[in-house]
Amino acid sequence: MVDAAALPGALSDVRVLDLSTRLSGAFCARLFGDHGADVVLLETPDGHALRGESPFLDGIAGAERSLVHAYANQNKRSVVLEPGDARRRDLVFGADVIVVSDRATAEEVRKHAGAGAVIVATTPYGLDTSMADMPGNDLTAGAASGWALTNGDEDEPPLRPTLHQSAYLAGTMAYTGAVAALVERESSGLGQTVDVCELEPMLWMAAPGILGATQGNVFGAGRGRPGVFTGPVATKDGYFSVTFSRPHFWTEAMRALGLDDLASDPRYLDRTVRQAEAEPLAARIEGALAERDRWDLFHDMSRRRCTVGIVLDMSDLAESEHLAARWTTAQTQVDERPAATLSSPCQMTATPWTMRSPAPRLGEHTDAVLTEWSATREGARG
């Protein structure tokens, strides 16, 4: 079997300088490292902001103990310099891609970057707007994109999206744009700025609602009242979701639950009838689900070609045979302790993802990187 770590990554000839202070930028840079780029995380002596982000290993804070840092900064090398250190310019000049998190840093980098450098900015509201310098986070992105309104349950207050959702989306979009800019550079020889606003990828996911609103269709708040028709419900040993979007799903699910009268009644093949009688139907269906084991339900209904899903917790995911077969998990270290992490959802045959290095210790590679990248600058001058 070929050792994936010994193979050059798809981006092995790319140098990335990570000047980010936000998760979105750090994740963008990590994706480059996942595909073989030499990613240097430039930090101050206080360390990257994610080193102070909870949760921490064993609940104990420390520069090497943040699980968010361990995830978002893997496959990178760490260099520590004081903010005014002139060697920072050498690193900027030697980078193909420079990741920043604010307008001031983007403007500074443009003065010292090479002509072919791609500058990637992930910020709350973009580089060139009246809100460019305003703070923002996942909570404000969820609110401003409309997701907080549509999330949660009917007649309840708005609910924030999953933690860090906007940051991971923006980081992924920034990575996509940066790779496209590198491809374009092969033709023009010139770099460009990739400007990603953390709010906008969230809007992309809400596009049907936005388009509907332009036609006068106003979407209500929340997903409906809690229950089997809107989300997961309890089984004997956990939670379970089942969809009735097609007549076949309804019929076979009712048979699996022993509710043959509901399965055979043709009226319930009509979604509007089910909606009109949702309360009594939900009571019977949820009662039947509560008497069954979740995995028994999953296998029974899957055989019947129903669309179903189990609500998995973290221990379920760690033991998942499906994820293991897909090589979704990998091994890393957190403060020198072995730990499981995720690989990549993008499976590549010739240049596969690999864990080249865990998240670096603060300043771990300062001397080596300064020597290597300085030599590149001197070569360019000569």
270 located within any domain: yes
- Place 228 in a pLDDT band, splitting at 50, 70 and 90: confident
Q: Which candidate, 321, 320, 327, places its Cα nearest to that of 1? A: 327
Mean pLDDT of the chain: 90
Q: What value does the mean pLDDT take over residues 44-59? A: 97
pLDDT at 343: 87
Same domain, 138 and 282: no
pLDDT digits (tens, 9 = 90+) for 12-36: 999 999 999 999 999 999 999 999 9
> Quick one: which H or E segment has residue 241?
strand 239-242
Same domain, 195 and 81: yes
Torsion angle in degrees (nearest 10) through CA of 333, 334, 337, 343: -30
Provide the 10 A C-beta neighbour count for residue 230. Answer: 16
Same domain, 49 and 188: yes
Retrieve residue 18's tokens. Answer: 């990570």
pLDDT digits (tens, 9 = 90+) for 258-314: 999 999 999 999 999 998 999 999 999 999 999 999 999 999 999 999 999 999 988
Same domain, 279 and 168: no
* Residue scoring higher pLDDT (265 or 345): 265
Number of domains in the chain: 2
Same domain, 135 and 242: no
Measured CA to CA, the distance from residue 257 to residue 259 in angstroms comes to 5
- The residue segments making up the domain with residue 179 are 4-209+330-381
Q: DSSP assignment, residue 320?
A: -
Same domain, 281 and 161: no
219 located within any domain: no
317 located within any domain: no
**Is 377 a residue whose pLDDT tops 90?**
no
Same domain, 168 and 241: no
Q: Are strands 239-242 and 308-310 parallel, antiparallel or unpaired?
A: antiparallel
46 located within any domain: yes
pLDDT at 142: 87
pLDDT digits (tens, 9 = 90+) for 196-214: 999 999 988 876 766 666 6
Domain containing residue 257: CATH number: 3.30.1540.10
Q: What value does the mean pLDDT take over residues 106-121? A: 97
**Is 344 a residue whose pLDDT tops 60?**
yes
- Place 334 in a pLDDT band, splitting at 50, 70 and 90: very high
Same domain, 125 and 244: no
91 located within any domain: yes
pLDDT digits (tens, 9 = 90+) for 122-176: 999 999 999 999 999 988 998 888 888 777 777 778 888 888 999 999 999 999 9
225 located within any domain: no
pLDDT at 1: 40
**Is 321 a residue whose pLDDT tops 90?**
no
Same domain, 96 and 189: yes
* Residue scoring higher pLDDT (212 or 66): 66
The fraction of the chain above a pLDDT of 90, given in percent, is: 70
Three-class SS string for 85-140? Answer: CCHHHHHHHHCCEEEECCHHHHHHHHHHCCCCCEEEEEECCCCCCCCCCCCCCHHH
Same domain, 59 and 125: yes
pLDDT at 209: 67
223 located within any domain: no
Same domain, 37 and 126: yes
217 located within any domain: no
